[in-house]
Chain A
Amino acid sequence: MESIYLIYNYIGYCIAKQGKDKLSEEYFRKVINSNQNNPIYYYNLAIALIRQEEYGGRAKSLLIKALDIREDFQKVKYNLGVVYSRLGMFKQAEEIFKSLIEVFNDFILEDVDYKEERGYKALNDIVDGYYSYWVDFINEIKLTKQFAVYEKSLKKLAAESKKDIRREWVNFGIEIFHRKKYEKAEKLFSKTIEIDKKFLELVKNYVFTNFEDNNLKEAEIAFKKYSELLLDIKEAMLSNGLATAKREGYGRAANIFTEVLTIDSQEKQGWDNLGILWLKQGKIEEAKNAYEASIKIDDKARIFFINIPKFYLSKRITRKQSII
């Protein structure tokens, strides 16, 4: 009866790829009814359930069953870790992620020939894998909104990871910001921005060097990296500006937003925030200019002009001329 469950399985895959998880679940269930010996079939059904956010009893027990059949099935282990963390069972999740990391570490020690280029690539893949397991785990924790566990895990990642985790710190900073710990958030953003700036300069030079050497393919790859980095640094700087502004360091915050706008003059959020900050400092003309620049990017920003009469009202100053 081999081909029947093979067919059921592939129909299940097709349907799952179409995003019909409930229907794919039915097919994967039929597969298991025909063959109980293959861990992949348990894994497929578990994934169909996880996609429907059914983490509890069924998905968990299917993944455990798959691991009973094949102990070293890393993908299953990883998803069991995800299920545990979604269920708030962090201790069990951490145990699983640690065991995955151990596998990577063993592999680094035993199987990779560092002298070979292939070896370097493999090492890089392993470190990436090691890193992504942790990052995924931490993101899972973040979703559960258990802030203390999130912070602890991130610190652990920072201590153990061989990779750069600046983006994770920025995300963490945003979380802290929402908890009104502006000073701590500001410190985190500043630290990231400092490194990002140096890196941005390096990549920029690399783009130009390759472009001048007519090495266009490499220049294109580097430019993509540069654009990604630019987005990241902008996000960190905007967050930093907001954190500084919340601590009422309006002048410093305005400088940060101005710096964002020197990097990208089309950054609407930069102009909007700058407008608000100028207004808070009573610099009406500058605020007006900032809002006008924002309107040029997106007409919906017109609504921000309402801030100007509001400002006058709060200061009990009568506005003589119309603003818009």
Chain B
Amino acid sequence: MLYKYSQILFKQKNYKEAIHYLNQITVKDERNLKALIMLGKIYFNLGNYLKAEKYFKRVLEIDESEIDSRLLLAESLFMQEKYKEVIKLVEDLPKSKKGRNFLLFEGKSYLKIDSFEEAENIFTALLGDGKDNPEILTELGISLFKQNKLKKAIEVLKKSLVLTVRIKTPCFIWVFFIPKKINYLMLKLS
């Protein structure tokens, strides 16, 4: 009952009250996974990454397989600039559970600690599945730039720019950018 009420408060972003009720739950049952996860998420949303880290670590102590909490823990650590801890957290994961998001944080962490080659390898592997992601392309471009691979960096960054503009521009605007030749053909057909 208390948990469900806290869930409503969480959705309403009434974090202060939600914390109050969730704490009541954890006092009674300190291994209550759902309450601990929600507390972690609340502190994460409030930008208190240290406390979020504490709760997500407790969650993982109870249940190692809690993948969402692990990802939020990685993000909390990243936000606190604990880059080496992020890398360790991802490396400790079995290969099958290393999703794109984990690898993205690992790559970004390598970039932050100036291990540019490792970062490049991770971002290249992430792009290997054929899906061009502007965020990953940008990070790859930065890691190439940091290694002075300027020509390749420009190429990657320009690709990322095109994709970012495409994502951020509503489809109907793209009609204006259809090359003139195609416009001409369309007119001819009609």
A interface with B by C-beta (< 8 Å) = 1, 3-4, 6-8, 10-11, 13-15, 17-18
Checking B134, B154, B168 against A11 with a beta-carbon cut-off of 8 angstroms, the contacting residue is B154
State whether B150 touches A17 (Cβ < 8 A).
Answer: yes
Residue of B145, B153, B157 with most partner-chain A CB within 10 A: B157
Report the separation of the CA atoms of residues A150 and B153 in the bound assembly, to the nearest whole angstrom.
Answer: 43
B135 touches A10 (CB 8 A): no
Contact of A1 among B135, B148, B150, B168 (CB under 8 A): B168
- The CA of A7 and the CA of B137, in the complex, are separated in Å by 10
| Other-chain contact of B138, A3, A14, A15 (Cβ < 8 Å) | A3
Q: How far is the CA of A252 from the CA of B54 in the complex (A)?
A: 79
30 contacts between A and B (CB under 8 A): A3-B134, A3-B135, A3-B138, A3-B164, A4-B161, A4-B164, A4-B165, A4-B168, A7-B141, A7-B157, A7-B160, A7-B164, A10-B138, A10-B142, A10-B157, A11-B141, A11-B154, A11-B157, A11-B158, A11-B161, A13-B145, A14-B145, A14-B150, A14-B153, A14-B154, A14-B157, A15-B154, A17-B148, A17-B150, A18-B150
Find residues 135-190 in chain B having any chain A CB closer than 8 Å to their own CB: 135, 138, 141-142, 145, 148, 150, 153-154, 157-158, 160-161, 164-165, 168
Q: Tell which of B135, B142, B165 has the most Cβ of chain A within 10 Å.
A: B142
Q: Which residues of B contact A11 (CB under 8 A)?
A: 141, 154, 157-158, 161
Instruction: Provide the residues of chain A in CB contact with B154, threshold 8 Å.
Output: 11, 14-15
Using known A-B contacts A11-B158, A14-B157, determine if residue A6 contacts B138 with beta carbons closer than 8 Å.
Answer: yes
Q: State the CA gap A7–B154 with chains docked (Å).
A: 10
**B168/A10 in contact, CB under 8 A:** no
Contacts of B145 in A (CB 8 A): 10, 13-14, 17
Contacts of B158 in A (CB 8 A): 11
Which residues in A have their C-beta under 8 angstroms from that of B148?
17
Q: Which residues of B contact A (CB under 8 A)?
A: 134-135, 138, 141-142, 145, 148, 150, 153-154, 157-158, 160-161, 164-165, 168
**Interface of B, helix, strand, loop or mixed by DSSP:** helix
Identify the closest chain A residue to B137 (Cβ). A7
Contact B161 A7 (CB under 8 A): yes
- Determine the distance from Cα of A195 to Cα of B95 in the docked complex, in whole angstroms: 64
> What residues of B have a CB within 8 angstroms of the CB of A4 in the complex?
161, 164-165, 168
Q: How far is the CB of A100 from chain B (nearest CB, A)?
A: 27
Smallest CB separation, A19 vs chain B (Å): 10
Does A10 lie within 8 Å of B153, measured CB to CB?
Answer: yes
Q: How far is the CB of A117 from chain B (nearest CB, A)?
A: 23
Residues of A contacting B161 in the complex (Cβ-Cβ under 8 angstroms) = 4, 7-8, 11
Q: How far is the CB of B133 from chain A (nearest CB, A)?
A: 11
Bound Cα distance from A10 to B134, whole angstroms: 14
In the assembled complex, which residues on chain B have CB atoms less than 8 Å from the CB atom of A6? Answer: 138
In the complex, what's the smallest C-beta–C-beta distance from B10 to chain A, in angstroms? 27
**What is the bound-complex CA distance between A311 and B19, given in angstroms?**
100
CB of A4, distance to nearest CB on chain B (Å): 5
For the complex, what is the distance from the CA of A32 to the CA of B157, rounded to whole Å? 18
Residues of A within 8 A of B138 (CB): 3, 6-7, 10
A167 to B152 alpha-carbon distance, docked (Å): 42
Q: Given the complex, which residues of B lie within 8 Å of A14, measured CB to CB?
A: 145, 150, 153-154, 157
| A residues less than 8 Å from B150 (CB atoms) | 14, 17-18
Q: How far is the CB of A177 from chain B (nearest CB, A)?
A: 41
Residues of the A chain whose Cβ atoms lie less than 8 Å from the Cβ of B168: 1, 4
A30 to chain B, nearest CB (A): 10
Distance from B166 Cβ to chain A, minimum over Cβ atoms (Å): 11
Most B CB within 10 A of own CB, among A1, A3, A8: A3
Name the residue on B nearest A16 (C-beta).
B150
Inter-chain CA distance A4–B163, complex, in Å, is: 10
CA distance A10 to B138 in the complex (A): 9
Q: Which residue of A lies closest to B162 (CB)?
A: A7
* In the complex, the 5 A-B pairs of residues with the closest C-beta atoms, listed nearest first: A14-B150, A7-B161, A11-B157, A14-B154, A14-B153
Q: Which residues of A contact B135 (CB under 8 A)?
A: 3
A47 to B160, CA, bound (A): 25
Q: Could you tell me the distance between the alpha carbons of A186 and B118 in the complex, rounded to whole angstroms?
A: 57
A4 to B134, CA, bound (A): 10
Q: A3-B135, A4-B165, A10-B141 are in contact. List 8 more A-B contacts (CB 8 A).
A: A4-B164, A6-B138, A7-B141, A7-B157, A10-B157, A11-B157, A13-B145, A15-B154
